[in-house]
Structure 1
Amino acid sequence: MKKLLTATALLGALTAPAFAESHGGYTFALVPKAMNNPFFDLARDGCHAAQEELADVTCEYIGPGEHTELEQIQIVQDLITKGVDGIAVAPSNAPAMAKVLKGAMDAGIPVMTWDSDLLPEDIALRTTYVGTNNYNIGVHLAELVMARHPDGGTVCLQTGGAAAANHNERLLGARETLAGMDLGDPPGRMLDGDNGWTEISGCPLITNDDGNVAVQGMTDILAANPDLTAFLSTGAFTQWFDNAYRNAAEPYKGKMDAGELTIVVADTLPMQLAQTKDGLGNGLVGQRPYEMGYKAMYILKDIVEGKNVEDPIYTGLDICNNDNVDTCVK
């Protein structure tokens, strides 16, 4: 359900512009989970494009060099101390980030989240969320699997950080869709024969958004489970390193062509589309990170200027399979 700017957020909006006026414009920080991630590179590009259009806005793109929860928390703390005019953050560890963002509220610095949100009990600490309906990513990934395997089978799920709210929501969406039932709060429970689906031992695989860990995990699982029906990853990290992923998937191309194995992965980065086109994967559910970074600058400007904003703001999804891979990305 969408809502308008809260009273708490409005208070922050009314106090923040004083700093902006003192240095001749607004400085808004866009904080990713990691800066060595091609997904977040697109958000950075969107942020900089908005900066070019908004004469009084500077996009400060800053985050951990690699996916490190503690470093991200320290960066946000430093931004609060610095006194930026607004912060858009993709929390790696939602509960831990919430503790830091209380300081932003106390300092009158507006906060929004993007890509990954805070937990429900902490959302009053930010004004809005812009990005993906993460539950729906899991839903569509599961639907891609079920279209190829209507009678069920065995599945391995791969995810990002164990405390990342967005990945846990994706896991829940995938599990509930495969099971055809309500499984409670994110990330839900492991499937055990539910609607014909069973999660194998050793999964879900936790990657901490590390591409090397992700592709090695997939390699090991496929080798140890030759009869696996589906491998479902909630993040693009599985396919970031093109050569490594291709080497891992190539031995199973025949099984994928025959409909015996399905590999589906979140996101639609260029290398992922090429891999899917070449039959080294069977489905993608793509987000729109450029739009997230772009919109974040406009949204933060609206907040500090006291305008109403909706919550949440979803940026849409692109659903791809082997048949529509050339046309699926909007």
Structure 2
Amino acid sequence: MKKLLTATALVALTAPAAFAEAHGGYTFALVPKAMNNPFFDLARDGCYKAQEELEDVTCEYIGPGEHTELEQIQIVQDLITKGVDGIAVAPSNAPAMAKALEDAAEAGIPVMTWDSDLLPEDAELRTTYVGTFNYDIGRHLAELVQARHPDGGTICLQTGGAAAANHNERLLGAREQLAGMELGDPPGEPLTGQGGWTEISGCPLITNDDGNVAVQGMTDILAANPDLTAFLSTGAFTQWFDNAYRNAVEPYQEEMANGDLTIVVADTLPMQIAQTKDGLGNGLVGQRPFEMGYKAMYILKDIAEGNEVEDPIYTGLDVCNNDNIDTCVN
């Protein structure tokens, strides 16, 4: 549905529009959670593609070198001080980022979120969200697990930042799908037998989007729980480092092939597709980060020029398993 601009948003239009008119173009910032992340590299590429198409738009792609919540907040504060014409941010810590974005509203800078949104109580600080319906990532990952283990079992969930709204929504989606019931607000409570599923001790694993932490955590859990039924990760960090991931799961390849163990992971990056084709994973639920970065530039231009935009704007998902891995990504 179209979203009418709020009074705050209307005030935010005047300064960027006037700046663009005086300086011959807009500068819009695309702020990821981390710049050492192949998922966000694709969003960057989409942002630059939009820049090529929009003669009056410059994409400024800037974020923390590694996943650091405080650094991301500082970068956004610096962008506000600099006076960019619009900010698209993927908040690592939703409540903390909301406080920083109050300054953007006062400075008259349009804001949108992508990949990860603010909490509902802070939604008025941004005009729209573009990205994934994150609850459905968790739900589809859980469906992949249920298809292989209809009678339930034990499971370990792995996630990103504890305060990242997108990962908490994915956890809730996975838990509610497995439990077959509503479990309250994100991330939901750990499962203790609902729907036949029990989360093991030591999980969920918090990675802070660190690939090394993710692989080590999975390695330790698999070694300590030889009868584990399923391992579900809400982010691609589990599989970013191809050699490390392959070394970690190759000892369990037979169990994955015969249905004793299932490993499913969010996203469909190239190395993840290859791993699944090689039988080193059982399912992926992929987002479309290129489209997020690409659309963000067009959306910010619409906001800056006073046009109505939809809220939210979902970019869709690709659901893959061992049978359709060659054709599942659009």
Fold match (TM-score > 0.5): yes
SS in 2 for 1:272: helix
Q: CA deviation at 1:5?
A: 3.2
The letter of the residue matching 1:295 is: K
Match of 1:322 in 2: 322
Q: Residue deviations 1:145-180, cap 9 Å, x none?
A: 000000000000000000000000000000000001
Match of 1:48 in 2: 48
Match of 1:243 in 2: 243
The letter of the residue matching 1:41 is: D
Q: Residue deviations 1:88-137, cap 9 Å, x none?
A: 00000000000000000000000000000000000000000000000000
Q: CA deviation at 1:2?
A: 6.3
Match of 1:175 in 2: 175
CA distance, structure 2, for counterparts of residue 4 and residue 263 of structure 1: 43
Q: CA deviation at 1:285?
A: 0.2
Q: Alignment identity in percent?
A: 86
Q: CA deviation at 1:27?
A: 0.1
The letter of the residue matching 1:327 is: T
- Taking structure 2 as the reference length, the TM-score comes to 0.99
Structure 1 unmatched runs, 5+: none
CA distance, structure 2, for counterparts of residue 19 and residue 100 of structure 1: 22
CA distance, structure 2, for counterparts of residue 13 and residue 181 of structure 1: 43
CA distance, structure 2, for counterparts of residue 4 and residue 168 of structure 1: 28
- Taking structure 1 as the reference length, the TM-score comes to 0.99
Q: Is the 8 A contact 2:2 2:309 kept in 1?
A: no
Match of 1:290 in 2: 290
Match of 1:70 in 2: 70
Q: Is the 8 A contact 2:130 2:314 kept in 1?
A: yes
The alignment covers a number of residue pairs equal to 330
CA distance, structure 1, for counterparts of residue 6 and residue 255 of structure 2: 52
Match of 2:273 in 1: 273
SS in 1 for 2:158: strand
Match of 2:36 in 1: 36
Match of 1:158 in 2: 158
Match of 1:79 in 2: 79
Give the ranges of 4+ consecutive aligned residues of structure 1 lying more than 6 Å apart after TM superposition. Answer: none
SS in 2 for 1:162: coil
Q: CA deviation at 1:13?
A: 2.0
The letter of the residue matching 2:9 is: A
CA distance, structure 2, for counterparts of residue 266 and residue 55 of structure 1: 35
Q: Residue deviations 1:59-111, cap 9 Å, x none?
A: 00000000000000000000000000000000000000000000000000000
Q: Is the 8 A contact 1:292 1:315 kept in 2?
A: yes
CA distance, structure 2, for counterparts of residue 220 and residue 231 of structure 1: 12
Match of 2:129 in 1: 129
Structure 2 unmatched runs, 5+: none
CA distance, structure 1, for counterparts of residue 227 and residue 161 of structure 2: 27
